[in-house]
A and B are shown apart, each in its own frame.
Chain A
């Protein structure tokens, strides 16, 4: 089944403790993106990648890192999480010019 898999689905962590949210797609898509969704603010793009080793900042990249060492994986790294990064996170992938397939989301709480 064609899908984007994110892990974990839920995560509660403490301020400053590094964490990684994994994202993997099995559709051989070139493009992958990370978004965060917050009430009243909608979905905002954090980082995107057009292919292996090619990444760029979205609208809200501060406090996040990404890497694209393999085509299928696009992990999101929070080096020192803060409470304002409490949010619902989505990974998505797309072929050139196509619609995006989204993962099921990761609900992150930073206390």
Chain B
């Protein structure tokens, strides 16, 4: 079942601006991860935030997590043309036996206009 829902579905901004994408999910999680996918290629792991963390940074990326609202946001600062891609949030839950894999949202398609 689809766990995460990204918002917006598509986003077009000018190069240099900041891009913010949101993700909501439905059930308990162990961690939440963000991935980037360029046009039908493989997904690239960007950042992982654990359920007991509220904010995390990696380069131009900032992720927040609000477990009370079951939501996360990904902020890309000073966007570049190379950031044009689809971005997915994915939630991970670990049952008694171990990881149950990732459950993905449908993604946000980000277009950076030069």
**B103 contacts A45, C-beta separation under 8 Å:** yes
Q: Which residue of A lies closest to B33 (CB)?
A: A99
In the complex, per-residue mask of B83-97: 1 if CB is within 8 Å of any chain A CB, else 0:
000001010001001
- Count how many pairs of residues, one from A and one from B, have CB atoms less than 8 Å apart in the complex: 74
Interface residues of A in 33-83 (CB under 8 A from B): 33, 35, 40-45, 48, 50-51, 54, 56, 58-59
**B33 contacts A100, C-beta separation under 8 Å:** yes
User: What separation, in Å, do the CA atoms of A105 and B42 have in the docked complex?
Assistant: 6
**B31 contacts A31, C-beta separation under 8 Å:** no
Q: Do A99 and B98 contact each other (CB < 8 Å), given the known contacts A42-B2, A42-B105?
A: no
Task: Place the interface of chain B in its size category.
Answer: 20 to 34
Neighbouring B residues of A42 by C-beta, 8 Å: 2, 88, 104-107
User: What separation, in Å, do the CA atoms of A92 and B90 have in the docked complex?
Assistant: 13
A residues near B (Cβ < 8 Å) are 30-31, 33, 35, 40-45, 48, 50-51, 54, 56, 58-59, 88, 90, 92, 94, 96-105, 107
A-B CB proximity, top 6 nearest: A99-B45, A50-B98, A48-B101, A42-B106, A43-B104, A102-B42
Beyond the given A33-B102, A42-B88, A44-B2, could you list 17 further A-B residue pairs with CB under 8 A, ordered by the A residue number? A31-B101, A33-B101, A35-B102, A40-B106, A41-B106, A43-B43, A48-B100, A50-B98, A54-B98, A58-B101, A59-B103, A88-B40, A99-B48, A100-B35, A102-B44, A103-B42, A105-B40
